[in-house]
Amino acid sequence: MLKNKNILIGITGGIAAYKAAELTRAFIKKGAHVKVIMTKNAAEFITPLTLRTLSRNPVYMDMFSLTGDFSIAHISLAREADVVVIAPATANVIGKIAGGLADDLLTTSVMATTAPVLICPAMNTNMYENPIVKGNLAKLAENGYRILEPAYGELAERTEGAGRLPEVPEIVDEVESILTAKDLAGEKIIVTAGPTQEPFDPVRFITNHSSGKMGYAVAAMARRRGADVVLISGPTALPKPRGVKFIPVTTALEMRDAVMKHLKDATVVIKAAAVADYRPATRAASKIKKKEGPLEIMLERNPDIIAEIGKKKGRRVVVGFAMETDNLIENAAAKLKNKNMDLIVANDLNQEGAGFQTDTNVITILDRKGGREALPLLDKTEVADRILDRVKKIL
Ligand code: PMT
């Protein structure tokens, strides 16, 4: 999403300016080109040399610095930017932009750019809650500026409160979202992710190795592309993706109920969850004490959620996954047909870099017309994007 994008970072004079170094590195790692404008006060908190080194570009500080090609800095910086990110944004720069002031390179570039501008306020809680600052932020939002609300947490003066610059991954995610076409706007997408846990006493349960990464990547990407997303997730160790309706479940029965509850409004269902096909027939009320000899546990069938969805598919787009260890394509094609899916994403657990736990996956997408799209090893984020491209085509 950020590859070869031109990102202009504006740094102003707040203690959180030190995070701009990490933010610059994060954008560079994603393949973006970064240029930095620093206000004088920002240089009190972090040196231009640091940013010059990290951004691999000169750092622009004053209004009258001419760029190499003798164009006027603020005009060329404003024109080439795909997105402008002011992080941290002080109450001062927020007030100047809201008031239409343009007396330094940063405010002049912001005024001259037609690119989206993301403001990341960071300041002492009392300043952030000051009605004038609130009013300025509201005015900026009304005028199309994107505001990334600060986090609640420990601030420089060791107080607790709102006003803390969000963590770098959150800022990066917001910028990626700003630069992603909202081609799924209006769609209501249910995504299931993670394993289910099927207990047989209060202490023990049957589960599988699903980490939830695949489903969470689909949910995050669908939101980034403008969809309303309901993420129904088994137990995972992952942070919740931002901006999605998150519904935690434990067992397959709970997952089924949650899916059926939200199915009515859904235009798309993508089932990446590794749902247990069986559950223990009985759940002991107390911990089963070990005895000599084997312990036998009778398992009974869980509902086949995606098959149930397929029976009342209507115009909904239904995407399933097939997790196989052999006969990948045949098994996946059979599931696609028998369960009335539109697409099935086949992944072979024996394939290096595919399946459970990994940040990558190797998938083949099968469709109802017998089409097959085999993808190379890709990051699960990229895999999610490709799956959603196919969903978009069907929509
Ligand atoms: O979570 P990760 O660590 O990132 O791993 C990703 C993954 C390997 C879990 C994922 O890529 C994947 O393959 N998910 C599907 C796992 C699975 O249950 O596949 P399956 O072939 O057993 O089931 C086929 C389809 O039916 C799946 O869409 C599944 O969600 C659905 N299903 C299965 C059983 C059941 N009782 N109800 C269902 O709806």
The CATH number for 69's domain is 3.40.50.1950
Pairing of strands 317-324, 378-379: unpaired
Alpha carbon nearest to ligand 1 atom 13, residue: 323
Active site residue 338: no
Confidence of residue 69 (pLDDT cuts 50, 70, 90): low
Task: Report if pTM > 0.75.
Answer: yes
- Residue 126 is predicted with a pLDDT of 94
Decide if 211 contacts 194 (C-beta within 8 A): yes
Residue 70 clears pLDDT 90, i.e. is over it: no
Confidence of residue 71 (pLDDT cuts 50, 70, 90): low
Q: Give the C-alpha distances (Å, rounded to integers) separating 104 from 61, 67, 147.
A: 9, 16, 21
Residue given tokens 């570039």 in the structure block: 109
pLDDT tens digits for range 34-54: 999 999 999 999 999 999 999
CB contact at 8 A, 222 and 229: yes
245-288 pLDDT, tens digit each = 999 999 999 999 999 999 999 999 999 999 999 999 999 999 99
CATH number at residue 259: 3.40.50.10300
Mean pLDDT value across residues 137-142 = 97
The pLDDT value recorded for residue 65 is: 60
Q: Which of 178, 200, 215 represents a domain boundary (last residue)?
A: 178
Residue 99 forms part of a structural domain: yes
pLDDT band of residue 391 (cuts 50, 70, 90) is: very high
Cα–Cα distance for residue pair 281/189, rounded to 1 Å: 33
% of the chain at pLDDT higher than 70: 98
CA distances from 9 to 21, 26, 81, 101, 368 (A): 10, 12, 10, 19, 46
pLDDT at position 64 = 67
328 Cα: distance to centroid of ligand 1 (angstroms): 13
φ and ψ at residue 210, rounded to 5 degrees: -60, 130
Q: Which domain holds residue 226?
A: 188-280+298-394
pLDDT confidence bin for 68, thresholds 50/70/90: low
Are 117 and 174 contained in the same domain?
yes
Flag whether 313 is in a domain: yes
Q: Are 116 and 143 in contact (CB under 8 A)?
A: no
Query: What pLDDT band is residue 95 in, cutting at 50, 70 and 90?
Result: very high
Nearest atom in ligand 1 to the alpha carbon of residue 213 is: 4
In a domain, 26, yes or no: yes
Examine the pLDDT at 224 and tell me if it is beyond 90. Answer: yes
pLDDT of residue 153: 83
- Set 41, 57, 208, 340: catalytic member: 208
Q: Are residues 144 and 10 in the same domain?
A: yes
Decide: 29 and 1 in contact? Cβ < 8 Å: no
What confidence category does residue 162 fall into, taking pLDDT thresholds of 50, 70 and 90? confident
Residue 72: pLDDT above 80? no
What is residue 155's predicted lDDT score, i.e. its pLDDT?
A: 83
Instruction: Say how many Å lie between the first and final Cα of the chain, rounded.
Output: 22
Mutate to test the pocket of ligand 1, among 191, 207, 321 (most ligand atoms within 8 A of CB): 321
Q: In which band, very low, low, confident or very high, does the pLDDT at 158 lie, cut at 50, 70 and 90?
A: confident
